[in-house]
Amino acid sequence: MKGIKIELEMRKRAVILTGAGMSAESGLKTFRDANGLWEGHDIMEVASPQGFARNPELVFEFYNQRRRQLHSVAPNAGHKALVDLEREFEVNIVTQNVDNLHEKAGSTNVLHLHGELFKVRSTENENLILDWTKDLNLGDVDENGIQLRPHIVWFGEMVPMLEPAIELIMKADVVLIIGTSMQVYPAASLVNYAKPGIPIYFIDPKPSVHESDFQNLTIIPKTAAIGVPELVAELLQN
């Protein structure tokens, strides 16, 4: 057992930050269209406490559609490559995505910053969280008779998993940023907590950063399904 513990302690820590581009090639639409609308809806209609209070049925149906779609998609080569990385690295994934494709691929340490589609929670107790894979409607209640809501972090709400994510980044020996524009805060600020000088890789077909933006940054202008397997193979070889 002692030998196993020493081996685990010697493994390098890789922290992976993933965004919508990670799941796009699995067929999942990114919520936000080019015009800023989410599936034709103003963001505040379907992703804010105020919108939920005004029209809960609209909000339920929006996420029911997302949940139904999630049943029909599978992890892509990028998701699967991150599972391979666990052979040699201690891997922690911090994702802005609310799908379960990292888990479905086999990744063992996944932190969801913005919540999860396959979970719901009480409207009165944010710590009362339930697994939920079917439609959610008015009248669906928790054990105390309180209406349930999507387990999604909406605009204007606290991001409870932000502090754990910062702790992971601070301990990282290498950081991979995949399929995110690095424009959505507070998630975009996470890379600033990385130790100075560690390798940072940015994988996106339309990079929104420059190599001068961060120390020791390598930009890979490819999709997740192509760029991630290539980089993982290189990291495992080295």
Catalytic (active-site) positions: 114
Instruction: Kindly report the backbone phi and psi dihedral angles of residue 209, in degrees, each rounded to the nearest multiple of 5, phi listed first.
Output: -125, 165
| Two structure tokens written together for 25 | 């090639």
Q: Give phi and psi for 219, each to the nearest 5.
A: -100, 130
**How far is 211 from 126, CA to CA, in rounded Å?**
40
Question: How many CB atoms are closer than 10 A to CB 192?
Answer: 9
Amino acid, res. 198: I
At 29, give phi and psi (nearest 5°).
-70, 145
Mapping DSSP to helix (H, G, I), strand (E, B) and coil, where does residue 77 land?
A: helix
Structural tokens at position 191 = 């890379």
C-alpha to C-alpha distance for 3 and 109, rounded to whole angstroms:
22
Which tokens is 6 given?
Answer: 């020493």
